[in-house]
Each structure stands twice: as C-alpha cells, then as structure tokens.
Amino acid sequence: GNEPAPFNEYEFPLDSNWELPRNHLVLGATLGEGAFGRVVMAEVNNAIVAVKMVKEGHTDDDIASLVREMEVMKIIGRHINIINLLGCCSQSGPLYVIVEFAPHGNLKDFLYKNRPFGRDQDRDSSQPPPSPPAHMITEKDLIKFAHQIARGMDYLASRRCIHRDLAARNVLVSDDYVLKIADFGLARDIQSTDYYRKNTNGRLPIKWMAPESLQEKFYDSKSDVWSYGILLWEIMTYGQQPYPTIMSAEELYSYLMSGQRMEKPAKCSMNIYILMRQCWHFNADDRPPFTEIVEYMDKLLQAKE
C-alpha cells in the first residue's frame, strides 16, 4: 500500500538538491519487480515518472543498495542516453528514488514486438504472443539504436562506471526512439553471482558475460564492450535469445575458448558484424573502447545519409 509507515524505519540525511514533497507523488501501476525491488509508474507535477522502491520483506542491505544506486546516479550526472535521476522522497516514509519514465518499455520486448519478419518463428515461450507491430523499424533505426547505446556507454565509461549487465532487457525505449541505459547504478554482488540462477525472464545472464567475467568474475569497461557486442546481436535479430543451444557457463566458456562465436544475423550488414566480432575478442585489450565504437557508428550513419 501507499500509506506511510507508522514510524520511520530508517533515517536518511536530507539532500535538498533532490528531495521532492511526498504528497506531490501519485503512485500507479507496477512496471517491474525484482527480488528485492519494485519500479512503479507515478505522476508528479503532471509528469509521468518511474519510482524505485524496496518491497515488503526487504533487508537492510536492500535499502543500502537502493541508497547506493541513487548516490551513484547523483555522482554520474546527466546524459540523454541513460535513465536520469529526477529526485527522491527520503524523509518521513519509505525511500522513493524517482527516475525518468520510458514509455515504450525495454528494448528487447520493443524489438520483438515490432519485428517485421518471422513473428511466430524462433519465439521463446516466455515471450508474449505476437500482436501486429505498432512501429516500423528499419535497418537504419537499428543502427541508430546501437549508436545511442554506444554514446550512453561512452559517457558512463568516462564517468568510471562499469555497468556489468548491459543487455537489451536493461535498455529502455523513450519517446522519439530515444534509448536510455537503465540500472547502471545498481550495486551488483559479483562474488555471489550465481551462474545457474535465471533472471526474471528465465534467461541466463551468463550469455552477455565476457570470458574474463565468466572465468574470474573480472569486470571493467572492456567486459562491458563484450556485452555491447551481444546487445548489438540482440538488436540486429530484433530481440532473439543469444546462443540458443548453450545451457551452462562451462559450456559457454569452452565454446568461446575454442574461438567459436555467433554467426552473422541474416538482416545484419557486414560492417556491423565486424564490429560485433571486434567486441568479442577473447583478449580484452583487442576490443575497441566505446569512444571508437561511437566514431565507427558515426561513420556508418553518415554513409547512410
């Protein structure tokens, strides 16, 4: 429920740069739910926003992690291609972290819903049944999507932020096809990453992980570049599941170790596939930094003018 707690469970220092009056917020439908957190739609001063909060049964660690996420967002600053912090309600009641709302939801579902071909082939059963596409997405749109994500990641990398779970499910689609990277401030407990635990969509997050992350739980911007390559593949296939036959981290690691990589998707130009393959260099130093990826995409899009 939305009613204030009878007493303050926690006290947070007031940050008047970000604090919004709680009574200006009207909470609405749930947008997403994780193990410990929930995102709900809300209205504040005639604008639609998304509000992150912890669920019932949360622990102190869950609160600490939400506070940390908010503090990371404050420090990273604004960029058009990330989900920006708008404010918070931290006083006398539950902690609400208020962020930008993206009306078209996550990129994976958006691409899948609007895929122009094979709409009932290769579907995974966890996906909703197809309905006619509402948006006509061209190959150039796909490249613009990849370009925007590269710009967002270049910004995050310049702010020393490592995402650790870059995937189409963690990119949101805003108005006018503006893409925004979400959950970059999330504290991820890497040491306790359970390779066998599926995410909320029943998928193994291992398929986005660089070999050094699989093997040594090592993450940096270069491992984010690997994940970006998988995300490129998701974009060019309109939201298909990567490595459909691979079932475990061990199997994936030996597949990658032997030099095997996913094939070029049917609707993908060679230029984009070359970029994917560069992101998937086993040796992290051979992968291009996001700054170079942005420049490469600039040139590709100029050539398409």
Binding interface with ligand ADE (CB under 6 A): 31-32, 39, 50, 83, 99-102, 105, 172, 182
Least distance in Å: CB of 287 to ligand ADE?
Answer: 29
State the catalytic residue, choosing from 154, 165, 183, 224.
165
In the bound state with ligand ADE, the residue whose beta carbon lies nearer, of 182 and 293, is 182
Beta partners for residue 19, in sequence order: 88
How far apart are alpha carbons 70 and 141 in whole angstroms? 31
CA distance 280 to 219: 14
CB 244 within 8 A of CB 255: no
Chain position carrying tokens 């095997």: 260
Residue closer to ligand ADE by CB (options 32, 118) is: 32
Q: Smallest distance, Å, CB 143 to ligand ADE? A: 24
Distance of closest approach, residue 295 Cβ to ligand ADE, in angstroms: 29
Q: What angle, rounded to 10 degrees, do the helices at 290-303 and 221-236 form? A: 30
Instruction: Report the residue closest to ligand ADE, judged by CB.
Output: 50
- CB-nearer residue toward ligand ADE: 48 or 75: 48
What CA–CA distances, in Å, run from 127 to 3, 111, 245, 268?
35, 12, 17, 23
Cβ neighbours for 118, distance < 8 A, ≥ 6 positions apart: none
Is residue 224 annotated as a catalytic residue, yes or no?
no
Nearer to ligand ADE by Cβ, of 32 and 289: the residue is 32
Q: How far is the CB of 24 from ligand ADE (least distance, A)?
A: 18
Active site residues: 165
